[in-house]
Amino acid sequence: MEHLQRAVPVLFALDVRKSVTFYQEKFGFDKQGWVDDHYAVIGRDQIELHIAKCSDKIFPENTSCYIHVTDVDGLYAELKKTGVVHPNGPLGNKPWGLREFSALDGEGNLLRFGQKL
């Protein structure tokens, strides 16, 4: 029997509402579940992210998540225009069999986007 169904990343933010706006404007997130000053549930396409309030920037600056995508080249072009692509994370083929790139949100959380080669 398979028990595990899906995983949802929980990223940290000093200002949850500001972070939600950043995801809407820079990453194109267009779905909202719960949003208040302490917690948010947002989404785009088939993924969901949770954002939790924290009081120390060390948490978001040391947190990341990996998101599997289709058309990684198209997403890279889209996000490059919004300025969120990490300067050390350009699009490229990796030896572990993925074509991927990295981006940073406004709080410092690292998001890695990849597609199987």
The pLDDT > 70 percentage for the chain reads 100
Model pTM?
Answer: 0.92
| Burial (0-12, 13-18, 19+ Cβ within 10 Å), 50 | middle
CB of 53 closer than 8 Å to CB of 16: yes
Domains with residue ranges and CATH for the chain: 10-116 (3.10.180.10)
Mean pLDDT of the chain: 96
Neighbours of 111 (CB within 10 A): 23
pLDDT tens column, 54-93? 999 999 999 999 999 999 999 999 999 999 999 999 999 9
